[in-house]
Amino acid sequence: MKVLHITTNYPTPDYPIFGIFVKEQVESLQKLGVACDVLYCDRKGRGTWMYLTYIPRIWWRILRGRYDVIHCHHALSALLCLCTLWPIFKKCVVSYQNDPTREWKVNCFGLLHACFNRIIIKNTSPYLERSRTVYLPNGCNEDFFVQMDRAACRKVLGLDPDAVYILYMDSNKWGRTQKRKDRFDATLELLRQHFPDVRALELYNTPREQIPAYMNACNLHLISSDFEGSPNSVKECLCCNVPVVSTDVGNVREMIGDIPGCAVVSDFSVEALAEAAKEVLLHTGLFEGRRLFLRKGYSMSAVSLRLKSLYEHLVR
């Protein structure tokens, strides 16, 4: 089987974390024997109109490649592919990264649902009731993200051995407003009333090989976002056995809602987040986040098997 992955976000030397989940998903499929090519539609620094230049490239690549399946990552990639008219003739899949209401809106979803064979949604959403939609969040590389000694990680990274570190992550080099850094900062201010040594550990566009050590150095990962799809940092922290507190966004409740030592906050207020974080930091029981999370089927190997099965079903 041969698959072409079309994506508008993919790692580069300058942006090593941008779209890393697409790259890792492709690599996991290759390990299962799926032949994969990637066409990265990069417009950084060249304006949005640069995307239009990729339409003939996509058309020509599909013509020459003899692909069994075209997998578009993000609705924008799917729209570019649709402009080539290849979805009329080829089996095509699109993976949303956020809820369709947040990613090119409802009308775009209706168009893609009519023209694509499968639509992958990564968060709990009413759109999953539609006939061609599939719930399939990204998997996490459980062999790369593992539990490590916190003190040793802090020593290597030059961090204070006695501070309480709260992790904030954003794959965008400049930060995204949906992540609500202001809410994160305000939450930490409240937490300092109970934990004077609370500090933020902020990761932006951090090289992949460093992230497990930073995660393991932290006491807690706090997500303060207004909305998410299926945040990969939650999965990665859980695989490192690091607790998570999050606003009720994307599929976070399904991932951590029943894991003792984690918390999902329906009230998006700073006060509610701070109280939940306080309870998690004071939790004295054995934390089994990694074991409880992985048995839900979010490992990279489990997700790639499901994705390969989806491809095989389409081409039968």
- Kindly report the three-state secondary structure assignment for every residue of 183-220: HHHHHHHHHCCCCCCEEEEEEECCCHHHHHHHHHCCCE
Structural domain total, the chain: 2
Percent of the chain with pLDDT over 90: 84
Please give the structure tokens belonging to residue 3: 């698959």
The yes-or-no verdict on residue 259 having pLDDT over 80 is: yes
Please tell me the predicted confidence (pLDDT) of residue 205. Answer: 83
Please give the structure tokens belonging to residue 271: 């006060």
The yes-or-no verdict on residue 175 having pLDDT over 70 is: no
Do the beta carbons of residue 70 and residue 89 sit within 8 Å? Answer: no
Mean pLDDT of the 76-82 span: 96
Residues 156 and 125 in one domain: no
Residues 306 and 279 in one domain: no
Decide if 161 is inside a domain: yes
Residues 134 and 165 in one domain: no
Please tell me the predicted confidence (pLDDT) of residue 176. Answer: 77
Residues 130 and 176 in one domain: no
Mean pLDDT of the 11-38 span: 94
Residues 200 and 287 in one domain: yes
Please tell me the predicted confidence (pLDDT) of residue 202. Answer: 95
Decide if 144 is inside a domain: no
Decide if 20 is inside a domain: yes
Residues 182 and 73 in one domain: no
Percent of the chain with pLDDT over 70: 97
> Taking the model in full, what pTM does it have?
0.92
Decide if 46 is inside a domain: yes
Which CATH number fits the domain that encloses residue 259?
A: 3.40.50.2000
Residues 11 and 113 in one domain: yes
**Whole-angstrom distance, CA of residue 179 vs CA of residue 193:** 24
Domain of residue 222, residue span: 150-294
